[in-house]
Chains A and B, each alone.
Chain A
Amino acid sequence: MSDLRWEPWAAIIAFLIAWGYTLSPGPYWMVAFTFVAQPLFLMAMAGFIIKERRDLSGRRSS
């Protein structure tokens, strides 16, 4: 779980956009959510999962 540098920021930005979208689902928020927030979420999740698995396998091997 180390090295979580950008993942939190990506997730935070995505959460802010998602929040804005749920409050006011207009076309511009929809575009921002679909093409910015969603990729950021997916990358943050992927980044976290990859690093966590690496940590877990690293501990087992160490």
Chain B
Amino acid sequence: MDTFDLVRIAGTLICLTGIVLCWRFARTRVGAVAAPRLKAVALAGFVAAPLGALAVANYHTFEGTHAVDGCARCHVMWPMVNDLKDPASDSLAARHYRQAWISTNECYGCHADYGWRGSLKAKMDGFRHLSRYTTGTYQEPIVFRGHFNNGNCLKCHAGTPPFEQVSSHRLAARVLSESAMSCLNCHGDAHPTRAQRTPGSSAYAHLMEKPR
């Protein structure tokens, strides 16, 4: 049983309890002077249970969105997720995933910039993605807005011997750290290309299968 299952169970218990408790008050008007036990029920139904429900449900919003499965809930992400898990893919994402170079929350690991500012930015990006997706105000193939922060690569790779031994890395340290030059220039695509993710392309149908 993992956290996700716990959340489901707790959420079910809390919400059902809350519904039952609130139903009591929905069906019957209560007088101004109520028994202490009724007050306790009211407190549970209108304060405790909602707080509990808020806490449990917001787990998905704040933690669940970090997981690969969280990204996979929007179908426009399916090409990325399918490619990520494809043992034959040579994309950077697939190679990192296959080799377990990032132990968990693999999407978040590369897409959340470092530190609290990075987490905040990730939340803002997530909010923007949610807004666009649910209102249908996006076009396929989806395109990365802004430019990718190389810090997401450098936070793991910089300083390691294999990285430092490459003369071009030392030479390009400034442009790399400023993200003026993308690491992907030399190291290839991270994800399936825009052409592959365009509806009608030969790869589209396969990439758009629901991830297992």
A21 touches B60 (CB 8 A): yes
Instruction: Decide: A31 and B130 in contact? CB cutoff 8 A.
Output: yes
- Interface size class on chain A is 35 or more
A window 47-62: CB within 8 A of B: 47-49, 52, 55, 58-59
A12 touches B46 (CB 8 A): no
Chain B residues contacting A31 (CB-CB under 8 Å) are 130, 134
Residue interface mask B40-68, A partner, CB < 8 A = 1: 00100111011101101100110010000
Query: Is there a chain A Cβ closer than 8 Å to B163's Cβ?
Result: no
Q: Known: A8-B23, A21-B60. Is A44-B50 also a contact (CB below 8 A)?
A: yes
* Number of chain B residues whose Cβ lies closer than 8 Å to a Cβ of chain A: 42
- Within 8 Å by CB of A34, from B7, B29, B61, lies B61
Quick check: A12 and B12 within 8 Å, CB to CB?
Answer: no
- CB-based contact A8/B22 at 8 Å: yes
Q: Which residues of B contact A16 (CB under 8 A)?
A: 15, 19
Chain A interface (Cβ within 8 Å of chain B)? Answer: 1-2, 4-5, 7-9, 11-12, 14-16, 18-19, 21-23, 25-28, 30-31, 33-34, 37-38, 41, 44-45, 47-49, 52, 55, 58-59
Interface residues of B (CB under 8 A from A): 7-8, 10-12, 15-16, 18-19, 22-26, 29-34, 38-39, 42, 45-47, 49-51, 53-54, 56-57, 60-61, 64, 70, 73-74, 130, 133-134
